Amino acid sequence: MDDCIFCKIVRGEFGTTIVAENEYAVAFDDIAPIAPMHTLVVPRRHIESMAEANAEDLAMLSGCLLLVNDVARVKGIETSGYRAGFNVGPDSGQTVFHLHFHVFGGQRLRDMA
């Protein structure tokens, strides 16, 4: 999508520093982090949210998850631990409607029920 901010970042239009990447996704630091380490993993192909994913997206989704692991290694939190997740829709807190995975770490994260 031409007006999607994450699509623009993926295309290199903002000069955003890429933390890690693979053929399916790119990772960059969140501009409003909520943990000492807060990086986003964004698929190169636009998909609005996980709710729109289907079996044809399996390679892209697994590529994103493998990139989450790469981010943890690059950021030096692979052994201390990290959390990864995604939001689906406005009620979940999704504000950019391009699927993305949040990777959090760098401190002990509080339990979420």
Q: Rounded CA gap, 19 and 109, in Å?
A: 22
What residues are labeled active site?
100
Provide the whole-model pTM. Answer: 0.94
Roughly how many angstroms between the first and final C-alpha of the chain, as a whole number?
35
- Alpha carbon 85 to its chain's center: 8
Average pLDDT over residues 107-111: 83
Give the model confidence (pLDDT) of 50-104 as tens digits. Answer: 999 999 999 999 999 999 999 999 999 999 999 999 999 999 999 999 999 999 9
